[in-house]
Amino acid sequence: MHVFRLCKTRSSMFISWVVAFLFYVPFTLGSQPLHETSHSCAIDGLSTDTLGLCPYFGGVGYQASFSFETETEEAIPRDEVWVVRPSPGKGRGVFAAQDIARGTHIMEERPLFTGYAIADMTSDIETEFAQLSAEQQTEYLSCHEHKLQGEPESGRLLRILRSNAYTTQEGRIAIYPKVALINHSCQPNVLNADNQNTRIIIAMRDIVKGEEIFTTYIPLLMHTADRNQRLYQYGFQCQCEACKTSESDPRRQQAGMDLKELETALGTGLSKADKQSLTAKAEELARYVEKEGFADYFTKTSNLVVHYAKLAGLKGKARRWARKSLDHHSMIDEDSADSQRAAEILASI
Ligand SMILES: [Zn+2]
């Protein structure tokens, strides 16, 4: 598997990281309460974060030919894109190892294994796990697990899956141990997308060296209380700025309602005035999600602008947003089926 090939060719660097990390991790980490730890790393009850034995702490970005800047200062290879470090209140997190420009592919990872639904995996999980290499099993077991109140100790393999699984384009659930290290924020700075059975993490804005990389685990166009209710399954309360202040709540809620209205009106008979007002509403919404970096909504909202602008006879506007949609898909993979479809839509206007 792509990821593991990389690990093997970098075994000497890996050992350097083990040494570096043993001295770097504060020994207080293991005492943090589980509910604040979105990605802790515990094997057989021991916090391996505390012991400095987690397999990914020196996470390897996939660019890279190795040359170290200095032997003393954290020893991060010059071309490395990301690195795993302790994240206050969250166990571990993924951080920018250098300045990262918008559009950069920060991480790409193929799944350790996939399934159709978590409930269906109950009987298969032991078999899937047994088929992994020892290295992959360690990688899997180092992922965060959230035990719900009253749950028995058994069933750890399934709990890890439940706490870290993503849905693929084909609707399968999949687990990506390196991507799982990225913590949640309601103000994410990356796009987290599935492309042909590979999960891709792309910078949605310029990210400064040392900044933490944040994705989102939940839909973002909702109130703080609702967002945190959705996060319950992961076992933590979000402490991001948006959750601390709740200032963005009215705008998020409005955006959520606008999205629902725009989707509900699809395929209904509309007057000329309706078409124009819905185009304006869709464009305002698409601009908002673009400005906030809510990348999960970008394709959907830009396509809504295209749809309503075409209905309203506003070809220039439709073309502008179709171009943005194509650029977005091309940033993920310019040869993908989604990019081809976006190019066809643009060409048809
Ligand atoms: Zn938050």
How many angstroms separate the alpha carbon of residue 292 from the centre of ligand 1? 14
Question: What is the distance between the alpha carbons of residues 199 and 113, in angstroms, rounded to a whole number?
Answer: 13
How many angstroms separate the alpha carbon of residue 168 from the centre of ligand 1? 24
Statement: residue 54 has pLDDT above 60: no
The stretch 251-272 carries a mean pLDDT of 94
Q: What is the mean pLDDT of the chain?
A: 78
How many angstroms separate the alpha carbon of residue 217 from the centre of ligand 1? 10
Q: Is 104 left (phi over 0), alpha (psi -120 to 50) or beta?
A: beta
pLDDT reported for residue 156: 84
The stretch 252-270 carries a mean pLDDT of 94
Question: What is the distance between the alpha carbons of residues 306 and 346, in angstroms, rounded to a whole number?
Answer: 9
How many angstroms separate the alpha carbon of residue 28 from the centre of ligand 1? 24
Q: Are strands 214-215 and 42-43 parallel, antiparallel or unpaired?
A: unpaired
Q: Can you tell me which residue has the tokens 């010059």?
A: 78
Instruction: Please write the tens of the pLDDT for every residue from 214-241.
Output: 999 999 999 999 999 999 878 889 999 9
Statement: residue 160 has pLDDT above 80: yes
How many angstroms separate the alpha carbon of residue 215 from the centre of ligand 1? 11
> Strand (E) positions, 88-165?
91-96, 105-109, 114-115
Instruction: Please write the tens of the pLDDT for every residue from 66-122.
Output: 233 333 445 566 668 999 999 988 888 999 999 999 999 999 999 988 877 776 667
pLDDT reported for residue 32: 24
Statement: residue 132 has pLDDT above 70: yes
Q: Is 212 left (phi over 0), alpha (psi -120 to 50) or beta?
A: beta
pLDDT reported for residue 87: 92
Burial of 316 (0-12, 13-18, 19+ CB in 10 A): exposed
How many angstroms separate the alpha carbon of residue 159 from the centre of ligand 1? 23
How many angstroms separate the alpha carbon of residue 241 from the centre of ligand 1? 7
Statement: residue 2 has pLDDT above 80: no
The stretch 20-40 carries a mean pLDDT of 28
Higher local confidence (pLDDT), 267 or 85: 85
How many angstroms separate the alpha carbon of residue 206 from the centre of ligand 1? 20
Query: What residues does the ion ligand 1 have nearby, CB within 5 Å?
Result: 186, 238, 240, 242-243
How many angstroms separate the alpha carbon of residue 157 from the centre of ligand 1? 27
How many angstroms separate the alpha carbon of residue 277 from the centre of ligand 1? 32
How many angstroms separate the alpha carbon of residue 133 from the centre of ligand 1? 36
How many angstroms separate the alpha carbon of residue 205 from the centre of ligand 1? 18
How many angstroms separate the alpha carbon of residue 229 from the centre of ligand 1? 11
How many angstroms separate the alpha carbon of residue 187 from the centre of ligand 1? 7
How many angstroms separate the alpha carbon of residue 336 from the centre of ligand 1? 32
Higher local confidence (pLDDT), 158 or 179: 179
Question: In this structure, what token pair is assigned to residue 22?
Answer: 């043993």
Going by pLDDT thresholds of 50, 70 and 90, the confidence category of residue 46 is: very low
The stretch 175-201 carries a mean pLDDT of 94
How many angstroms separate the alpha carbon of residue 250 from the centre of ligand 1? 15
How many angstroms separate the alpha carbon of residue 181 from the centre of ligand 1? 17
Burial of 139 (0-12, 13-18, 19+ CB in 10 A): buried
Write down the pTM of the prediction.
0.74
How many angstroms separate the alpha carbon of residue 228 from the centre of ligand 1? 7
Question: What is the distance between the alpha carbons of residues 349 and 346, in angstroms, rounded to a whole number?
Answer: 6
How many angstroms separate the alpha carbon of residue 299 from the centre of ligand 1? 22
pLDDT reported for residue 150: 80
